[in-house]
Amino acid sequence: MDVEMPELDGCEATRRIRAKHPVSTRPWIIALTAGVMPNDRERAFAAGMNDFLTKPVRTEALAIALARAYAEGRAIAMNGTR
């Protein structure tokens, strides 16, 4: 989720997505931003994003973030809860 989108920023979009889905079916959302300050990261997580990547995206960092999302999805499938 691009954090700095025009009209509706990624944090607000994430809050709206979270409000529409029960915890058990919420999509995994990775913040994507050029912001590298600690408060950028905190803002994304406070909005409900699950992970955080900075631009330019490094292939290795993306692979790690996707592996975390996959692991979380498998854990949910096995346990039935988040």
pLDDT at 38 over 90: no
pTM (2 d.p.): 0.86
Domain coordinates in residue numbering, the chain: 10-79
C-alpha–C-alpha distance, residues 4 and 22, integer Å: 25
Residues with Cβ within 8 Å of 40's Cβ and at least 6 positions away in sequence, in order, are 3, 33
pLDDT digits (tens, 9 = 90+) for 51-77: 999 999 999 999 999 999 999 888 877
Q: What is the mean pLDDT of the chain?
A: 91
Give me the CATH topology for the region 10-79.
Rossmann fold (3.40.50)
Asked whether 54 and 33 are in contact (CB, 8 A), the reply is: yes
Residue 1, CA distances (Å) to 29, 75, 77 in order: 6, 23, 24
